[in-house]
Structure 1
Amino acid sequence: MKKYKLEKSLNRNLKKLNYMLEKNNIFEILEILGNKRKIFIRNLIAGISKGIGIGIGFTVLSAILIIILQKIVTLNIPIIGDYISDIVDIVETK
């Protein structure tokens, strides 16, 4: 009787463990970790994607900043306007 309950409990726990492993994709992660080529390719693609994203993001933010600075220059604020005008001229020439 005790042996039957123990087997039933063990079986239930194994099913729960199997469900949790499948739910969290542990099997796929272990498969990827075992293959060095997949790790290299995945990290290479991730690095390229991050680099492209950083480049695009920096370009957009720089363009927005230059537009804002140009608007400030048109307000003709004496000290700040001259300083920003010099910065915008330097950026546009390069």
Structure 2
Amino acid sequence: MDERERHILEALRDKIDELALNMEKMKLAEYVDLLNKPRRLLYINFISGLARGLGMAVGFAILGAIMILVLQHLVRLNLPLIGGFIAEIVAIVQNRLTP
């Protein structure tokens, strides 16, 4: 085997090693295994959907509470024109919250 062929084989071996490493980084085997088990795929997607929904609900509740606090603060500043409108919104929300 001459020097050129040896160099080509080493370059090819390096490329194969790099490809194998990239496939391990992509977790390709785990992905293919997951695709072969549709029940597990559905379960994982269901759990992730629940987590997203819960996160959105909690986030919306926190944002809503912060918005109410900001609106209450704006009412206390007694800004003309905006103050009355915001006071009505805050009153409506507080009436809805109390049983």
**Structure 1 pair 90–11 and aligned structure 2 pair: CA distance change class (3 A):** same
What is the 5 A alignment of 1:1-94?
Answer: 1=1, 5=6, 9-94=11-96
In 2, distance between residues paired with 1:36 and 1:10? 37
Q: Which runs of 5+ in 1 are unaligned?
A: none
Displacement of 1:14: 2.7
Q: TM-score, normalised by structure 1?
A: 0.85
Q: Describe the superposition over 1:24-74 as per-residue Cα deviations: whole angstroms up to 9, x where unpaired.
A: 211111111111011101110111011001001100010000001001111
In 2, distance between residues paired with 1:68 and 1:87? 12
- Of the structure 1 ranges 53-62 and 23-32, higher mean CA displacement relative to structure 2 is found in 23-32
Q: Which runs of 5+ in 2 are unaligned?
A: none
Corresponding residue pairs, total: 93
The percentage of counterpart residues that share the same residue type is: 34
Q: TM-score, normalised by structure 2?
A: 0.81
In 1, distance between residues paired with 2:39 and 2:89? 47
Displacement of 1:12: 3.7
| AA aligned opposite 1:75 | L
Coordinate RMSD, CA, aligned: 1.8
Secondary structure of the structure 1 residue equivalent to 2:81: helix
Runs of 4 or more consecutive aligned structure 1 residues displaced over 3 Å after TM superposition: 4-13
